[in-house]
Amino acid sequence: MYIQSDDYNVIADTILRQEIRPHDLMVLLVAESDALDAEALIERLNKAEVPFIGGVFPGVIHNSKLYKQGVVAKKLQAIAPPVIMSGLNTPGYNWPDLKTVLSGPAKPVTAWIMIDGLMSNIAHFLSGLYDRLGDQVNFIGGGAGSLSLKQQPCLLTPDGLFQDAAVIAFLDYDTHLGVKHGWKRLAGPIVATRTSQNVIYELNWEEAFSVYKNYIEKDCGCSITKDNFFEVAKGYPFGIYKSNAEEVVRDPIAVNNEGGLVCVGEVPENTVLNIMKGTADNLITSAAEAVEETLSRSQTTQAMVRHTMVVDCVSRALFLEDRHEEELEQINKRIKAVRSEVSPQGMLSLGEISSYGEGYLEFFNKTIVIGSLY
Amino acid sequence: MDKIVREISDLYELSLTIGAGLDAYSNCEQFLSVLLARRNLAYGAVWVAEQGLQRQPNAYQLLCARPACKAAQVKLSALDPIIAALDQDTIQVWAAEEAPFSGFLKANQINKGYVALLLLGPGAFMLLQGASEAALSDRSLRQLRPVLKKFAVAIEGCMAHERLREETRQRKVAQEEAEVARRAQQQFLANVSHEIRTPMNAMLGMVHLLRDTNLDSHQQEYLNVMRFASDNLMDLINNILDASKIEAGEVVLDPKPFDLHGLFSGLHQSWQLRIKDKPVQVRYEHDLPESTSFIGDSMRLQQIMNNLLNNASKFTESGTISLSVCMLSQRGDKADLQIKVGDTGQGIEEEHLPHIFDQFKQGRKAVGQGHAGTGLGLSIVRELLALMDGVISVESEPGAGSVFTIDLTLPVQKQVAKAPVAPVPAGQNQLSGINVLVAEDNRMNQKLVERILEKFGCEAEIVPDGLEAIRRCSHKKYDIILMDIHMPKMDGLEASKRIRVSGRNKKTPIVALTAAALLEERNHGLASGMNDFVTKPFAPDLLKRVMIKWLEDTAPQGEEDHAPKAEESPAEQIDLSYLHAMSGGDEAFIQDMIQTFLKEIPEMIQQVEANLQGRRPEALYSVVHKFKPSLSMLGLKQQEKACAKIERMTKESPPDWSALQSACHKLLSVIGKAQHDLQHHYSKIPEER
């Protein structure tokens, strides 16, 4: 359900008109808007005892459209109350006992994760999550936050608005995933010889910005500075090598005072990187491939698709600009062809979360993750 | 080309994760994290042999699994199917449900995709799981092999380091526990020693006091038995304490210059007195160069000699006990000494000789039941000598006697150290009129010390604790302070510290009278400003010697209040002990000395008066200085000090003639009294008229 309003009363009233049954959980994907009073929305939902979690994103997706306003409210079935983890910016934060969450009868479980996308230790958190849940759970989700790239409270929970936090809904669905980005190798390999969390300080034992600049300026034909870095770099992300799969993309978004490149997501020291380049056609094609991947798997099961979740990186939308809708149309058309009553819904994210198919849990950038829930 | 570059890059990154630290788990976790991420694998685990990497181990333990939630089983025996499936040469990949160790996989929720088993080296293997067969392709696994070998070596290194660290930790814990136990034992010994010595002090002291009363022959005999038993008990306690301290390595030598000949002379005289009831002669011979002193722990050497002499006296009923010391050679500043203690006692059976220095071993039957001893004495002798790098040997013939020979090398010091104080025969008095403050909490000991000091002619003030001692010290100057250590309100250590800070008794000698016999406690006492120790129970003579020693050592150094005043000690008695000791009891010699002194007196008085009147300080100095040794020989120590004071006064510029006159008249007055006493009580010729 998409609610095209910034008025919390309208949004709340619309949600409250839904029939909420036991085990139902409202997952709210909220488009970033100054007009929306998120605290008041939380208060109204709490008052009505509606179980919910939510995140604020640069945009939300409903069918083939991208909306910069309003809320996608998805009523999904949960097997357990959602887990809210805050204070993730402090070292040695505590983990809840996730074993008890999954202590019910053995059946497929999907973990829908929304995380503060501007935290510097997201991969570390996801590594800890995978350590506790393994591949018994399908993971899908993305980073919440503002397009301004200024960190602020962006996760809605019954306990309030949070930043440096993550919310996880354990959903009673099996999920088939498609993960693609369509970025191709331009140059490399380059070794990230000195890094700290999400900042690359050195590439090939030299200042990261200088090395990166040398590579990029040859291709883009323009001069890259700290000021225009975001605009230029959005077309030249890093790719981390991964066997039998596309590279994991890391998006450099800024240059710090030491010439370090600030990325969305960690880059471990000694990681071998490539500089990637994208074209609109490649990216749109990759979205089509991702949806095919999730549906090709679905054809092997007897079950019907009940929901399709789309986690599309905001930088893809920025890169594709007017053609972004083509990407969404590709997905919508293909899903509708399989099951017309299913509306692909999702958000523009600051980083995407998924395993590549059924492997290790990853945090991606500039990627589209599509999950078909059965 | 592109593919191989990517693969090499992948292996490069994996290689760099190896050996980042010395913790096996962290290394493994980091390696598996990168491996799983780069190879898109769902699971990885490393197992190692329980007792370090080795061929054909009996059991394996899980070192690390990612994700950690798949670690239901952490131990594997050599008989587990997964171990049987390990192959030295091939990398094996199975569909999860077809693997020969599916039970293990199911237990660990590894129930889909493919699994690969890789031997890392002797006693270690890795299990990987991927969602697809491609993730575990033969090519990719073969690429991994050299990296995995390096990884296995790093893990083995880490585990060896951890084993070493654990062993070190355990050793440290054991050492700490041993140290705690040692301290507890030490404290126990200190406590027991204190608790035994305190009542023993009272007992022995009373025995000594009783001895000086009128006793009939039966009572005298009972008293002798009591003294004998008490002495034995004290020997036993001392030996056990010493053996314990030696065993704990707590005996630390305190080498200082000392007069070896003086020490042995003292021993000779002392043992002559101690066994005077037996028909045994104690002989002493020496061959030591003149004016040579040695550097060593004289207290411990004395202990060694006393143990040997005690042994000799126990087993010799008649004949001779011989003590000798000679310098065999001198090499630079070191001298090779040989000390012998021989006896004509019962000797030692040959079969017992090898064990004579072992603890709790006795080589010869004790003469009487009371002489049985602990069997520790000779062991202590050997251990103390070992600390001095000396050796002891024994030759013996049953029925004829034994000779114990000590070979010892000591550094030589050219200047002669101060001779030890000669034993003072009982009955002589050098402490008459001395002001003594006694801090002692035990009522019995208070009484005993008071009585002993009274016998010495001292004026004693008894206080029950350190606090009261300080209070008294702030009001009055004492000649010497006897201080117990363990007391209520304030202990003797603290009280001594405070007395030393300031006030009238800042420099007054403080002698600890304590049952604390351990070196550690003695060191605390010295650090607190005490000068010496007399360990309870003590013989009155020992206390007297120590008191005299410190009263002499603290002769006035220009401070008026330190100089004992002649008029304050009118009761000072003549003490002929020095003449006795020096002459070996030669009465004729002593008489000769007395007569010489009596003859000197009139001339001396006349010269003093003349020089006072003529105000000739230098001449007055010469007369007094010349006469001073005579006073010393007669035991008139305070008058000797009065002379020293007059000497100093003559050196003042200009001299205070009024004060000099007063001091000289006081001196002459006391000398006059001494002259009278000598003529009436000591001299065997009529007074000259």
Residue of chain B whose Cα is closest to the Cα of A242: B38
CA angle B132, B137, B139 (to 5 degrees): 160
H/E stretch holding B437 reads strand B435-439
Following DSSP, what letter does each residue of A153-174 receive, concatenated? --EEETTEEESS-EEEEEES--
Answer yes or no: are the C-beta atoms of B634 and B597 closer than 8 Å.
yes
Q: For residues A185 and A275, what is the distance between their CA atoms, to the nearest angstrom?
A: 6
B405 and B439 within one domain: no
Q: For residues A89 and A351, what is the distance between their CA atoms, to the nearest angstrom?
A: 17
B454 CB-near residues (< 8 Å, 6+ apart): B460
* N-to-C CA span, chain B: 136
What is the reported pLDDT for B421? 44
Q: What is the mean pLDDT of chain A?
A: 91
How many domains, chain B?
4
What is the reported pLDDT for B586? 58
What is the reported pLDDT for B569? 36
Helix (H, G, I), strand (E, B) or coil at B115: strand
**Domain at B510, CATH number:** 3.40.50.2300
Q: B69, A133: Cβ pair inside 8 Å?
A: yes
Q: For residues B40 and B132, what is the distance between their CA atoms, to the nearest angstrom?
A: 9
Q: Of B355, B380, B413, which residue constitutes the final position of a domain?
A: B413
What is the reported pLDDT for A267? 92
Answer yes or no: are the C-beta atoms of B630 and B574 closer than 8 Å.
no
B349 and B315 within one domain: yes
Q: A359, B66: Cβ pair inside 8 Å?
A: no
Residue B657 burial by CB count (10 A; 0-12/13-18/19+): exposed, middle or buried? Answer: middle
B453 CB-side CA count, 13 A: 23
Closest partner CB to B68 (pick from A131, A191, A359): A131
> Which of A107, A205, A242, A244 to probe by mutation at the B interface, max B CB count within 10 Å?
A244
**B370 in reach of chain A (CB within 8 A):** no
- Residue-range definition of the domain harbouring residue B385: 260-413
Q: A359, B40: Cβ pair inside 8 Å?
A: yes
Domain-located, residue B349: yes
A108: chain B residues, CB-CB within 8 Å: none
> How many residues appear in chain B?
689
pLDDT in tens, B245-266: 777 777 888 888 888 888 888 7
Place of tokens 């679905």: A298
B674 CB-near residues (< 8 Å, 6+ apart): B574, B634, B636, B639
B550 and B599 within one domain: no
Q: Which residues of chain B have pLDDT under 70?
A: 1, 52-55, 88, 190, 359-375, 414-429, 515-522, 537, 553-573, 577-589, 632, 680-689
B542 and B620 within one domain: no
Place of tokens 């990029």: A216
Domain-located, residue B15: yes
Domain-located, residue B173: no
B280 and B406 within one domain: yes
**B6 in reach of chain A (CB within 8 A):** yes
B135: chain A residues, CB-CB within 8 Å: 243-244, 359
B436 CB-near residues (< 8 Å, 6+ apart): B453, B458, B459, B460, B461, B478, B479, B480, B481, B482, B547
Q: B130, A270: Cβ pair inside 8 Å?
A: no
What is the reported pLDDT for A209? 96
**Domain at B669, CATH number:** 1.20.120
As a whole number, mean pLDDT of residues A91-95 equals 89
ipTM confidence score = 0.81
pLDDT in tens, A22-56: 899 999 999 998 889 999 999 999 999 999 999 99
Q: How far is A247 from chain B (nearest CA, A)?
A: 9
What is the reported pLDDT for B572? 58
Answer yes or no: are the C-beta atoms of A186 and A215 closer than 8 Å.
yes
Domain-located, residue B237: no
B303-313: b or e for each residue (b if 16 or more CB lie within 10 Å)? bbbbbbbbbbb
B10: chain A residues, CB-CB within 8 Å: 241, 243, 272
Residue of chain A whose Cα is closest to the Cα of B39: A243
B403 and B271 within one domain: yes
HEC-encoded secondary structure of B153-206: HHHHHHHHHHHHHHHHHHHHHHHHHHHHHHHHHHHHHHHHHHHHHHHHHHHHHH
R_g over Cα of chain B: 41
Better-scored residue on pLDDT, A310 or B236: A310
B426: left (phi over 0), alpha (psi -120 to 50) or beta: beta
Domain-located, residue B7: yes
> Which of A107, A194, A272 to probe by mutation at the B interface, max B CB count within 10 Å?
A272
> How many residues appear in chain A?
374
**B662 in reach of chain A (CB within 8 A):** no
B612 and B540 within one domain: no
| Entry pTM | 0.56
Answer yes or no: are the C-beta atoms of B121 and B149 closer than 8 Å.
yes
Residue of chain B whose Cα is closest to the Cα of A245: B40
What is the reported pLDDT for B359? 67
CA A71 to mean position of chain CA atoms: 17
pLDDT in tens, A220-236: 889 999 999 998 998 99
Establish, for the pair of chains A and B, how many residue pairs have beta carbons separated by less than 8 Å.
88
Closest partner CB to B67 (pick from A132, A185, A271): A132
Domain-located, residue B418: no
DSSP-derived secondary structure letter, A78 = B
* N-to-C CA span, chain A: 18
H/E stretch holding B511 reads strand B510-514
Domain-located, residue B517: yes
B5: chain A residues, CB-CB within 8 Å: 189
What is the reported pLDDT for B425? 44
pLDDT in tens, A184-195: 999 988 999 999
Helix (H, G, I), strand (E, B) or coil at B592: helix
Q: How far is A327 from chain B (nearest CA, A)?
A: 27
Which of A:87-116 have CB within 8 Å of B?
Answer: 99
pLDDT in tens, A321-364: 999 999 999 999 999 888 888 999 999 999 999 986 566 788 99
B21: chain A residues, CB-CB within 8 Å: none
**Domain at B62, CATH number:** 3.30.450.40
Q: A131, B69: Cβ pair inside 8 Å?
A: yes
Which of A:121-160 have CB within 8 Å of B?
Answer: 127, 130-136
Residue of chain A whose Cα is closest to the Cα of B140: A243
Q: For residues B370 and B360, what is the distance between their CA atoms, to the nearest angstrom?
A: 16
CA angle B499, B502, B506 (to 5 degrees): 60
Answer yes or no: are the C-beta atoms of A173 and A110 closer than 8 Å.
yes
B643 and B504 within one domain: no
Letter for the amino acid at A332? N
pLDDT in tens, A165-209: 999 999 999 888 999 999 999 998 899 999 998 999 999 999 999
Smallest CA-to-CA distance from B128 within B47, B44, B14, B42 is with B44
Helix (H, G, I), strand (E, B) or coil at A133: helix
Place of tokens 């670690």: B71
Q: Is the bond leading into B67 cis (omega within 30 degrees of zero)?
A: yes
B126 CB-near residues (< 8 Å, 6+ apart): B44, B45, B46, B47, B117, B118, B120, B148
pLDDT in tens, A58-84: 999 999 999 999 999 999 999 999 999
Domain-located, residue B91: yes
Phi, psi of A122 (to 5 degrees): -65, -45
Helical segments of B614-656, H only: 617-633, 637-651
Closest partner CB to B42 (pick from A245, A248, A360): A360
